[in-house]
Structure 1
Amino acid sequence: MLLETVRCEDGKALHLSYHQARMERALETLEAGNIYSLQSLISPPEKGTFRCRFLYDRDRFQIEYHPYAPKAIRSLKAVHSNDLSYPLKSTERQELDALFARRGQCDDVLIIRNGFLSDTTIANIALKIKGIWLTPNTPLLPGTTRERLIRENVLISAPLRLEDIPQAESIAVMNAMIGFVEIENGIIV
């Protein structure tokens, strides 16, 4: 099944228009006739922060709410995986899980595909170079937070390579749940 992970705070689902757009693109790829309305289907608990998992395919959907406890990401280990493809956000994550298992003492991995920076197993990334936040133009999965920050002119999409990391003044990860967070210890090559 495919999924959208939506941050919900005190009864409100955040940034739904970006999740709706990505879901509609995925359903179009599947040539599905159904379009689900996240706005009308998601009804989170009134108090607290929750991770809403909206699971769907062309014929059905399921909604789960889980209390959210953020995972700290302080370090990333660079791993190469040229053939990895994850164009639709899916529950099928075996290849990502195998890469995650190679993280060693780091919190996650930074996936390098064909020499270009991509994503971690759960987040898009950004490098601050010469005072400008850049995000790889070769993401494994274009995230909703990445898309929003590009549209808000906070991020610029650019070709980024492993060799660009030493130039970075700061490194950040982003997704719908954590928002945009700078990494404390950076990337271990």
Structure 2
Amino acid sequence: MLCFETICVENRQLKNLSYHDARLNKTRQELWGYDDRWDLKALLEIPESVDESLHKCRVAYSKDIDNIKWEPYSPRTIRKIRLVYHDEIDYQYKYDNRDSLNALYAQRGDADEILIIKKGLVTDSNFCNVAFFDGNRWLTPASPLLPGTQRALLLDEGIIEAAEIHESDIATFSQIRLFNAMVDWANAATLDVSLIA
């Protein structure tokens, strides 16, 4: 079983490494009992093929690093979101095996993205954490499937707040924003909640 980290590389700089270090080391300790601490800055050397444009560094690992991939990144266009339901899905660690998420994503129909409801609560989209705007604050689900690194940064900076969000609450918000390690807050897709079906 492998897990992975997806790290944003912008202008040949690795972004938010302290948050990736924290999640990676927590995962290695909790899943496999390893107490040694990895420092991704020391482990990763940006290859010459990576230019100044936005790139994705994908580090797959268990006890050791299994593989590292570097590739250009193009953001996806999200125009419509489909609600999907799964009460047992577990993705609390960033598992390399995404079969359960892929099966839910296959239910999106004509939508570009999904929003996963677990036991009546809003969790995440397929690739992103989400936040909802109530006219005053941006609220992110308190129980995401995966606590993302960008989510942790935004919580620490006070840009978003965690709250329990039920499916029935969605209509009380005006907007939804989707973000992850590759899509920072300023560039995140923001849609009217009427585009969630």
Same fold (TM over 0.5): yes
Aligned residue pairs, count: 189
Q: Does 2:8 align with 1:21?
A: no
* Greater CA drift, 57-66 or 16-25: 57-66
- Percent identical across equivalent pairs? 32
How far apart, in 2, do the equivalents of 1:85 and 1:18 lie? Answer: 21
Deviation, 1:57, is 0.5
Alignment partner, residue 120 of structure 2: 115
Partner of 1:32: 34
* Structure 2: distance between partners of 1:94 and 1:184: 27
CA shift, 1:34, in A, is 4.2
Q: How far apart are residue 74 of structure 1 and its match?
A: 2.2
Give the C-alpha shift of residue 129 in structure 1: 0.8
Q: Which residue in 2 is equivalent to 1:80?
A: 85
Aligned AA for 1:21? A
Which has the higher mean CA deviation after the structures are superposed, 141-150 or 72-81? 72-81
Length-normalised TM-score, structure 1: 0.95
1:26: how far off? 0.2
- Report matched runs for 1:90-109 at 5 Å: 90-109=95-114
Q: Where do 5+ consecutive residues of structure 1 fail to align?
A: none
Q: Unpaired runs of 5+ in structure 2?
A: none
1:1-189 alignment runs, 5 A limit: 1-29=2-30, 30-44=32-46, 45-180=50-185, 181-186=188-193, 187-189=195-197
Deviation of the 1:158 alpha carbon: 0.2
1:143, 1:175 within 8 Å by CA — same for their partners in 2?
yes
Distance (Å, rounded) in 2 between the aligned partners of 1:64 and 1:4:
11
Distance 2:160 2:107 in 1: 29
TM-score by length of structure 2 reads 0.91
Q: Is the 8 A contact 1:5 1:54 kept in 2?
A: yes
1-side partners of 2:21 and 2:64: how far apart?
Answer: 17
